[in-house]
Amino acid sequence: MELTNLINNIELLRRELSALQPLPAERQEKLDKKFRLEFNYNSNHIEGNTLTYGETMLYLIFDKTTGEHEGREYEEMKASDAALKLVQDFAADNERPLTEAFIKNLNKIILVRPYWANAITPDGQNTRREISIGDYKKYPNSVRLQNGEMFHYASPQETPSLMDDLIQWYREETEKKELHAIVIAALLHYKFVRIHPFDDGNGRISRLLMNYVIYYHGLPPVIIKSADKKNYLQALNKADTGDINSFVEYIAKQLLWSLELSIKAAKGEDIEEGDDVDKEVAIWKKELKSKKTVQVIPKSADTLKKLYLENLRPFIGKMENRIAENFRDLFNNWEISAIANNEEVIGGLPFLDAIFDSTRPFLIESPENLFSIRVDTNLNGFNRNLKNHFGVSVKIEVLFNPNDYQLKVFTHRGTQQYLDGGRIYNQTITLQEQETIINNTVKNIFTYIKENTEM
């Protein structure tokens, strides 16, 4: 009776979810991301993968790693993600039947490559064996139960025919349409696990195949939470004793969770569970810690002095030299003026330097009171064309804000160059950036001169 009630509830929620379709793109994307992380983390964690939920998110979504884990664990997580995507795509194609070749390919994907692992012989002896991928087992894969008894899955000789029978059973039940999708999915999972056709990866593939059926019928995935592993295994053990309904009911309850979560997402409600927020905070903090952060230093007399004398002043000097080297002989007059807080500094650049040099008297009470400086370079009277004695100008302006500074460069053509909008005081203008700005400025001056010259 409980299974009947569970199926009825599933259908009620399915209809409710269907009425809310299609979901807005951003809600669907968030829901898909949630299911993707939940499936990959939990399915692998059940099998012993030690990546945390946060590390799984960091790896699958941001392609970054943190913590100390074996390379194989990262490979398994990425491979699981690829296998899940393949299952989704395969289920979406109603014309493609489930085949043994597809199942073998899933095993090949999730195991990545052959490797050696510990194993147990049928008589309970420990051994080591090379794990092949994409092929049915060639040796028995018995397991020792907690009570010390040996549990024997299908033998290597029986496996091919049993897998053929399993595929035929699935196809027949799907065509008959007598069993609910959740029943077929749970039974396929259980029957596959009982055969245990591969050397490794059987648990993960059983959950992928179960969700193949679920996706095929247009339902959200079933997630077996690793935190509920004890109940999951207990349900499987009950099925081994003949109580198959207990396992089907267990799977049906997990589908109810997925449907309820999907409905919440469709309604725009928060689908993060209680500890998910904590997980995301932990991820963000780890990522932040791994980055080389630059401490923000506010404007002060010392920070301005250091910035100007070690970075801005050399940059201004290089700009002036390049302009002089290329164009000074083309003009009759060359003037450089310095401006601080929108007022001209009598004496030009040397006196502007004095504002920042604490060993010399300040022309302003303190450099801390500066909100801007500007250096104007004017070339007047072009001397190669008697009909047009034009001039050009370059203005280099620096704005000093409370926590950052801005650099602007203007030429006579009105071109402006900014450095990222604003830069904190302990971040300098790199040599590459300086070269780029100077080269662009020289090109703009040259273009303007050519446009105004009669050849």
Same domain, 277 and 370: no
Q: What is the dihedral of CA 148, 152, 156, 160, to 10 degrees?
A: -150
Last residue of a domain, one of 290, 316, 333: 290
In a domain, 311, yes or no: yes
Q: In whole angstroms, what is the distance from residue 331 CA to residue 324 CA? A: 10
**Same domain for 380 and 437?**
yes
What CA dihedral angle connects 238, 239, 244 and 249, to 10 degrees?
A: 60
Does residue 413 fall inside a structural domain?
yes
Instruction: Give yes or no: residues 309 and 330 share one domain.
Output: yes
Same domain? For 256 and 395 the reply is no
397 within a domain of the structure (yes/no) = yes
152 and 273 part of one domain:
yes
Tell me: do 274 and 353 sit in the same domain.
Answer: no
| Burial (CB count within 10 angstroms: exposed 0-12, middle 13-18, buried 19+), residue 342 | exposed
- Same domain membership, residue 313 and residue 272: no
Task: Assess whether 17 and 125 both reside in one domain.
Answer: yes
Supply the pLDDT for residue 168: 97
- The residue type of 436 is T
Q: What is the pLDDT along the chain (455 residues), one digit of tens a residue?
A: 589 999 999 999 999 999 999 999 999 999 999 999 999 999 999 999 988 888 888 888 888 877 678 888 899 999 999 999 999 999 999 888 999 999 999 999 999 888 877 766 666 677 777 788 999 999 887 776 666 666 788 999 999 999 999 999 999 999 999 999 999 999 999 999 999 999 999 999 999 999 999 999 999 999 999 989 999 999 999 999 999 999 999 999 999 999 999 999 999 998 876 555 555 566 556 555 555 555 667 888 888 888 888 999 999 999 999 999 998 899 998 899 999 888 888 778 887 887 777 554 445 556 677 888 999 999 888 888 767 778 889 999 999 888 888 999 988 766 566 665 678 888 888 888 888 889 888 888 888 888 888 65
Domains identified in the chain, total number:
2
Q: Do residue 211 and residue 106 come from a single domain? A: yes
The torsion defined by the Cα of 400, 404, 410 and 415, in degrees rounded to 10, comes to -150
In a domain, 220, yes or no: yes
Question: In this structure, what token pair is assigned to residue 14?
Answer: 């399915």
What's CA 108's distance to the chain center, in Å?
25
Nearest Cα to Cα of residue 71 among 30, 131, 113: 113
One domain, residues 251 and 335: no
Residue 331 tokens, joined: 């003009």
pLDDT of amino acid 276:
57
Give residue 288's pLDDT. Answer: 58
What integer pLDDT is reported at residue 184 of this predicted model?
A: 98
pLDDT number for residue 163? 97
Select from 269, 290, 311 the last residue of a domain: 290
Instruction: Provide the residue type at 184 as one letter.
Output: I
Residue 339 sits at φ, ψ, to 5 deg, of -130, 135
Residue 199 located in a structural domain: yes
Looking at the structure, tell me whether residues 74 and 221 fall in a common domain.
yes
On whether both 92 and 73 belong to a single domain, the answer is: yes
DSSP state of 313: H
| Residue 295 domain flag | no
CA-nearest of 343, 364, 256, 301 to 12 is 256
- For residue 231, is it within any domain? yes
| CATH number of the domain residue 205 falls in | 1.10.3290.10
- pLDDT of 362 reads 47
Range of the domain at 337: 301-451
E-strand ranges in 363-446 read 372-382, 392-400, 404-411, 416-418, 423-424
Domain boundary among 290, 323, 355: 290
Q: Is residue 296 part of a domain?
A: no
